[in-house]
Amino acid sequence: MNTSGVHRWGRRVLVLMGRAFSLSGMSRNGVRALLAIMAALAVFSLSEDAHAYSWMIRHTQWQCSSCHADPSGGETLSPYGRFQSAAKLTMDYGGDAAEDGKAPKSAGFLWGAIAPDDTLLDDGNRILLGGSLRFLTVVKPEEKDVAAFPMQMDLYGEAKFGGFRVGGSLGAGKVEPGSPHVHAAQVTTNQGDELNLISRTHYVGYDVSSEVLIRAGRLNLPFGVRIPEHVMWVREASQTDRESDQQHGVAVAYTGQDFRGEIMGIAGNYQINPDEFRERGYSGYFEYKVADTYALGLSSLFTVAKADRITNLREDTKRGAHGVFARLSPAKPLVLLVEGDVLTRTGRDLGYTGFGQADVEPVQGLHLMLTGEVLNEGIEGVDQRFGGWFSVNWFFLPHMDMRVDAVMRQDSDLQILSQLHAYL
């Protein structure tokens, strides 16, 4: 597939954006100042996080498709998802977050510019809109180093006409050369300090029934526990995060009363070049609801490529990840998330990775999390490593949350990650 035309189109869009804001006549410092002001204004003027929160199982919300357009969770919210976010996610400060069984106006798109139950179309058709702006600060106390940057600037949505649907995301971002993040989702190929257009997902789909959905396009890989921590080893090592690890292909999802799953045939990521780096294979998971607040699952992924984009190995590469996961809520304030995977890769020994997380919600909207993780990549001479996270996540207003993570890993210094997030 020749993507040069797409890249040219994306560059033109960025140029037009620059002209629209008259950036061409500004100094570099002026541009940076304007971007900083725009980011700050957006954070305080936009509207709760649309991540797939696996700990919603504490509310017996074990199915993801009821709240999200993605059947396995994440990104675009349905009207029911907006209601649940107001009723179960945001701190209500002692009031009733969803009076009379209805979501407050602030739960709607752009803080109520569109009512939360307004699907914009009639006769069972709908348009869902959303977006996400995430600003990150990274502090490394040992190095006395502080970095701050917008981590996510995305718009996303889905239109549904009868059984047919089309959706996706479009955003902007920049990343340092050599970083494993963002590049795989780029539409344009600007270098250095320039912004690039990003599309993490784009797809068409058809609802075969109320339980079965078929989609084709660039999709989140169905695998393991959907968590927002995309840099956690279990997501990085299996290359199944939702930051930029999506692949093009065809997926079939099933959501039943006690069983759900999704299987995807991977055709490769056509936003990277050359073709030898594109992986082909499959990814999928199956999860069974043992009880209202207990679910167990299996995941499997296998791909082949002519070269390894991560290790730069220039020979046929086979990669796999296979494991088990669980979501458990023995008491409503507590949710346990667990996943363990074995890892295979050409040129390496058998590896493994896993995590366990305890999420405690003492009051609605405030989450205290303790996470342990392990990684053995199967590289000769490199021992297994352990890591630990202590996290606080506060959903302090509709469509807005703050999060702080203290991350300590073997062979790495302590990092303090602070995020301010707004969801349209």
Domain-by-domain residue ranges, the chain? 4-423
Name the phi and psi angles at 52, rounded to 5.
-80, 105
pLDDT band at 20 (very low <50, low <70, confident <90, very high): very low
Segment 334-391, tens digit of pLDDT = 999 999 999 999 999 999 999 999 999 999 999 999 999 999 999 999 999 999 999 9
Q: What is the per-residue pLDDT across 181-193, written as a single tens digit (0 to 9) for each?
A: 788 999 998 877 7
State the average pLDDT over residues 244-256: 97
Q: Which two tokens stand for residue 233?
A: 């080893």
User: What per-residue confidence (pLDDT) applies to 247?
Assistant: 98
What pLDDT is stored for residue 21 in this prediction? 34
Give SS3 for 378: coil
> Which of 29-38, 40-49, 57-66 reaches the highest mean pLDDT?
57-66
Q: What is the mean pLDDT of residues 133-138?
A: 92
pLDDT digits (tens, 9 = 90+) for 75-96: 888 888 888 888 888 898 876 5
Model confidence at 419: pLDDT above 60: yes
Q: What percent of the chain has pLDDT over 70?
A: 86
Number of neighbours of residue 301 by Cβ within 10 angstroms? 27
pLDDT for 206 equals: 98
* pLDDT category of residue 109 using cuts at 50, 70 and 90: confident
Q: How high is the mean pLDDT of the chain?
A: 85
Q: For residue 23, which of 11, 35, 36, 8 has the smallest C-alpha distance?
A: 35
Q: Is the pLDDT of residue 256 over 90?
A: yes
pLDDT value at residue 201: 97
pLDDT at 99: 60
- b/e string for 306-339 if b means 16 or more Cβ within 10 A? ebbbeeeeeeebebbbbbebbbbbeeeeebbbbb
Q: Output DSSP code: residue 224.
A: S
**54 in Cβ contact with 355 (< 8 Å):** no
Q: Is residue 60 helix, strand or coil?
A: coil
SS3 for 274?
coil
Fold of 4-423: Porin (2.40.160)
**pLDDT reported for residue 106:** 77
Residues paired with residue 198 on neighbouring β-strands, in sequence order:
171, 186
Helix (H, G, I), strand (E, B) or coil at 33: helix
pLDDT of 308 above 70: yes
The structure tokens listed for 3 are 């993507």
pLDDT at 9: 41
Give 336's strand partners.
328, 358
Q: Report the SS3 class of residue 357.
A: strand
Question: Which residue has better confidence, 8 or 178?
Answer: 178
Which two structure tokens, joined as six digits, stand for 164? 């047919």
Q: What's the predicted TM-score (pTM) here?
A: 0.84
Q: Smallest Cα–Cα separation from 160: which of 115, 102, 218, 213?
A: 213
pLDDT range class, residue 97, cuts 50, 70, 90: low
The mean pLDDT value for 247-258 works out to: 97
